[in-house]
Amino acid sequence: MNRKILSAFLTAVVLLGSFSSISLPASGAGNFIITNPYADVNWTTFRQYKAALHTHSTHSNESGMTAAVNGLDVMSERHYSLGFHVVAVTDHSRTTVSPDVVPANISADAIRTPLSTARMNAMAQGAGRGGAEGMIFIPNSNERSHTLPAITTDNHHVGAYFVDSTRSGSMSAFLSDFDTRNGYAVLNHPSRYVGAAWSDTTNKTTVRTIFNRESVWRPYADLYLNHSSLKGLEIVNEFDYDSQGTRILWDNILRQTAPAGKLVWGFANDDAHHVPTIGYTYNLLLMPSLSLDYVRTSMDSGAFLAFGRVDRSRDIYPVATMREQSNNRRDDSAIRRALDMPVPAITSISVGVDTVTVNARVSGANSTYPENASNMTIQ
Ligand SMILES: [Zn+2]
Ligand SMILES: [Zn+2]
């Protein structure tokens, strides 16, 4: 599926009103096949489950962390109160087998803040949600923070899920092992490793140039082609202040991998290190009901939407403010306003021989928030 076409669509969808259906022919000459990751989605009966797949806690043991603001228990509660259904706790190089278990290799001086088993079970049952489904955790989640060696840098972070990844060794050795054990890996925030953090409007050209450089994208493409467990790229991180260029990288990777039959899925993650940054950027998993098996199926097949309230946010909020909210862990009310803004919802996506059709609805929206229109990224 051509992501650029869909991105153009979504902008048009919201401009047209509260409900629209648009079909567009795929562009370009020559033979092609549009692969539809949503082919098995029943848009009438499936629900869209809110998933946080990259979030931290005091178990990452970074400076300034406190049990009150960064505790895994309070982070979990915040996700729950914001209606999340799926959470993967990804502390740096520490595998969270389950949120009620402290990672085995945690630092001696780290603040231990596991969720209680009783509360974890209550969340799974949907306690306090009036009969609605609850929230479950992906087992064995981790953000492996490699030091040596790596593809274009010596310090790439990798989201790892479902299978224990607490092993020493290089990133490629880890991925080779992960391949054999049916793990699931996602490369996180690549902008930071190739000098392409899109932090303001003045260096867009530079960022574009970097990610269009073959010496940058080819090592990534090769990594995806060489490792079956490597399935995703984090295309939106935090408030998106330095990850926009990643979509250029994504395009260049897919140009290499798609013809070889390997599709790379794009993920959107809060990468929250503290409570105030939860809820802006997440994934909507399209599933018939809430279960770990369906979560895995959705992530494997690409039947999900990467969603950000903050895409194009530089047009709304100053980059410096977003960075301050993230780095200094303050809770900026101007940014927090985004949590209450109406957002568009994709109601169906269908693919014909040479067309892609997207239906979208904006509940309670009005035209004063057109920026939300382009906040969704379809893969
Ligand atoms: Zn990271
Ligand atoms: Zn992280």
- For 161, the token pair is 């899920």
More confident position, 225 or 155: 225
Angle CA(243)–CA(244)–CA(245) in degrees, nearest 5? 90
Which ligand number lies closest to the CA of residue 273?
Answer: 2
For β-strands 142-145 and 157-161, DSSP reports them as: antiparallel
Residue 11, pLDDT above cutoff 50: no
User: What values do phi and psi take at 126, rounded to 5?
Assistant: 80, 30
**C-alpha of residue 281 to centroid of ligand 2, in Å:** 13
**C-alpha of residue 31 to centroid of ligand 2, in Å:** 40
Cα–Cα distance between 74 and 115 in angstroms, integer? 8
3-state secondary structure of 106: coil
Cα–Cα distance between 205 and 166 in angstroms, integer? 39
The sheet that has 344-351: what strands, in order across it? 19-25, 355-362, 344-351
pLDDT digits (tens, 9 = 90+) for 221-277: 999 999 999 999 999 988 777 787 889 999 999 999 999 999 999 999 999 998 988
**C-alpha of residue 256 to centroid of ligand 2, in Å:** 27
pLDDT digits (tens, 9 = 90+) for 265-298: 999 999 999 898 899 899 999 999 999 999 999 9
**C-alpha of residue 279 to centroid of ligand 2, in Å:** 15
* Residue found under tokens 């080819």: 218
**C-alpha of residue 62 to centroid of ligand 1, in Å:** 12
Q: Across the chain, how many H-helices and E-strands are there?
A: 11, 14
What is the pLDDT, as a whole number, of residue 320? 60
What is the pLDDT, as a whole number, of residue 323? 63
More confident position, 160 or 336: 160
Burial 37-51, CB ≥16 within 10 A → b, else e: bbeebeeeebebbbb
Contact 334, 300 (CB under 8 A): no
What is the pLDDT, as a whole number, of residue 20? 46
- For 29, the token pair is 């000459």
**DSSP code of 370?**
G
Which ligand number lies closest to the CA of residue 88?
Answer: 2
Residue 182, pLDDT above cutoff 70: yes
Going by pLDDT thresholds of 50, 70 and 90, the confidence category of residue 355 is confident
**CATH fit for domain 3-377, picks 3.30.70.2740, 3.40.50.150, 3.40.630.10, 3.20.20.140:** 3.20.20.140
For 189, residues 6+ apart whose C-beta sits below 8 A from its C-beta are 157, 234, 237, 242, 243, 246, 271
Going by pLDDT thresholds of 50, 70 and 90, the confidence category of residue 33 is confident
Q: Worst-scoring range by mean pLDDT, 58-67, 127-136, 357-366?
A: 357-366
What is the pLDDT, as a whole number, of residue 322? 63
Rg (CA), the chain: 20
What is the pLDDT, as a whole number, of residue 321? 63
User: What values do phi and psi take at 97, rounded to 5?
Assistant: -65, -40
For 82, residues 6+ apart whose C-beta sits below 8 A from its C-beta are 50, 278, 279, 339
Cα–Cα distance between 376 and 379 in angstroms, integer? 10
Which ligand number lies closest to the CA of residue 145?
Answer: 1
Mean pLDDT score of the chain, rounded to an integer?
A: 82
What is the pLDDT, as a whole number, of residue 97? 97
Residue 29, pLDDT above cutoff 80: no
Contact 38, 368 (CB under 8 A): no
Q: Name the residue type at position 26.
A: A
3-state secondary structure of 72: helix
**C-alpha of residue 73 to centroid of ligand 2, in Å:** 17
3-state secondary structure of 247: helix
pLDDT digits (tens, 9 = 90+) for 193-223: 887 775 555 567 788 889 999 999 999 999 9
**C-alpha of residue 158 to centroid of ligand 1, in Å:** 7
